[in-house]
Amino acid sequence: MVMVNKAGTADLKAAPKLLADAVLLLARIDETCKNRDHALTAKKFVFSNHVNEAFNVLLENGQIDRMEAGLVLTIIHQHLSEHLFSMLEYDVVRTIEKILMSHLPQEHRTHAALV
């Protein structure tokens, strides 16, 4: 059973829980889904809901602590494949791009919308 967060979008305390839930769900999908298409569909759901909402909360509050940064890196590096990335909706992709670019020094930001 997959839970969808009911917390308000600005609830900073919800972000770490959503990120931790996403890591657990994505790992469980990797362990249990034998069909690649089913796994991608399930991961797309997790990214479109848990991950997207958590990333938006972090961006709105402008705070990413060490724990949140570790969870973000785990999610991106271990669970976001090129194929999955190409399946995500535009707004989810933009949120992922913003969270990745949010801590780059200003001179390294190449996209005007991210500056």
* All residues at 6 or more sequence positions from 78 whose CB lies less than 8 Å from its CB, including other chains: 26
**Rounded average pLDDT over 39-62:** 93
Contact 3, 28 (CB under 8 A): no
pLDDT at 7 over 70: no
CA angle, 84 as apex, 92 and 62 as ends, to 5°?
Answer: 30
Rounded distance, CA 78 to CA 81, Å?
Answer: 8
pLDDT at 68 over 50: yes
What integer best gives the mean pLDDT of the chain? 84
Residue 103 sits at φ, ψ, to 5 deg, of -110, 10
pTM over 0.85: no
Q: Tell me the one-letter amino acid at 80.
A: L
pLDDT of residue 106: 60
Measured CA distances, 79 to 13, 62, 111, 113 (Å): 23, 24, 25, 26
pLDDT at 111 over 50: yes
**Rounded average pLDDT over 78-96:** 95
Burial 62-84 (b: 16+ CB within 10 A, else e): eebeeebeebbebbeeebbeeeb
